[in-house]
Amino acid sequence: MTPTSALAEPPSAHPAPDEVEFSAFGPGYGECLLIHVGGGEWVVVDSCVGGDRPPYLPVLTYLERLGVDAAEAVKLVVATHWHDDHVRGMGELVRACRGAVFALSDALKPDEVQGLLGLPPSPAERFPSGLEELTRAWTAVKGRRAHGKWALQERELYGRAPSADLPVRCRVHVLAPSDAAVTRAREEMRPLLEAAAVDVNGVAGYARVKRPDRNAGAVVLCVDVVDETTGVCTCLLLGADLEEVRGKGWTGVLQVWGARGKDAEVLRVPHHGSKNAHHADVWGSMLTSEPHAVVCPYVNGDVQLPTDEDRLRLCGLTPNVHATALGGRETLRRAGKKLDRPPPLGQVTLRRRLSANAAWEVAYGGAAGPACAG
């Protein structure tokens, strides 16, 4: 069993240099992952907004609470795909993290998309489209010394070697999309771009590009942090919204994982716990026996993920399932009806000290809690 201890609320002290932290925020509108990869360096994956008037970025609020200067300490910001519920507030986030590399799926590299990302951002809106958020983010990184990177299978997005002062190394590398997945994703996007092309004249057109239904180009990440002195390592598997459709999706991830073994201790459960993102061999070949599985629910009107059936499936695989928002279906449904009133926001935080080979500590804030309780 994976050892854990519970904390009453998210920590207010900065993690130690040899301590790994994984925090998930959501649902609000969207979701956001924050990882301390040792040495005071941080990685942010996706974005969400919380609050009411005006909306705010909970990840920046939390970093400020820890005394972290996001402009210096955040080294990498990743947008896994351009569905609205993963990039809400991304433009503001990238502007705040001025020293970070901004990474996008290689599926967004074609000239047609680059032409859209090159357009000036439209006047401020409360909830701009996903593509418009990426445009704002891309505009923010232009001219920076650390510009953008394209995420493609087996590429490293960020890495740090150990040193005499800090014997903790880290590596953030891409498990998906593969070349084949990028091709599929671009094929899915082409008719959407063509349908919107007649409107692309200024700022109005690209905001109306319909998002793809599938997530073939979604960015799946593996984050490895290793203490070279003790030999203790930890691995986090960040599943984005990658689905498994007719042997494509997670099957490709398993192929590049190969004989690495069952060493991922933390899983950001893909696609909000939905069954279309489940692959039994991920649990059997990539994850430790009772990993920490973190679910960021999706709530919008009558659509709610994970379903009760999804939650039972996950709790049958590990007792350590954590949700960034709990509550009855009726409560969440009412809260999710209007975009200007996001569902309740929660935070799940996991921390582990590598030098002492310590247990994971788990903390909940806001609407978050254990998904398997009761």
| 250-283 pLDDT per residue, tens | 999 999 998 898 999 999 999 999 999 999 999 9
Q: How far is CA 268 from the centre of its chain?
A: 8
CA-based nearest residue to 127, from 89, 99, 96: 89
Listed in sequence order, the residues at least 6 apart from 238 whose beta carbon sits closer than 8 Å to its beta carbon are 33, 45, 80, 220, 221, 222, 223, 268
Find out whether 83 and 241 touch, Cβ atoms under 8 Å.
yes
User: For residue 328, what pLDDT is reported?
Assistant: 44
Between 328 and 321, whose confidence is greater?
Answer: 321
| pLDDT tens-digit map of 112-166 | 566 656 555 554 444 457 777 888 888 888 777 667 899 999 999 999 999 999 9
Flag the least confident range among 38-42, 190-194, 316-320, 362-366: 190-194
Ordered by start, the domain boundaries in the chain are 4-370
* Domain 4-370 falls under CATH 3.40.50: no
Q: Give the type of residue at 339.
A: L
This model's pTM is above 0.75? yes
Q: What is the pLDDT of residues 160-210, one digit of tens each?
A: 999 999 999 999 999 999 999 998 888 887 777 766 655 544 444 444 566
| 332 vs 99, more confident | 99
Where do we find the tokens 């793809």? 212
b/e code 189-203 from CB counts within 10 Å (16+ = b): beebbeebeeebeee
CA angle, residues 237, 238, 239, in degrees to nearest 5: 110
Whole-number Å distance between alpha carbons of 139 and 118: 7
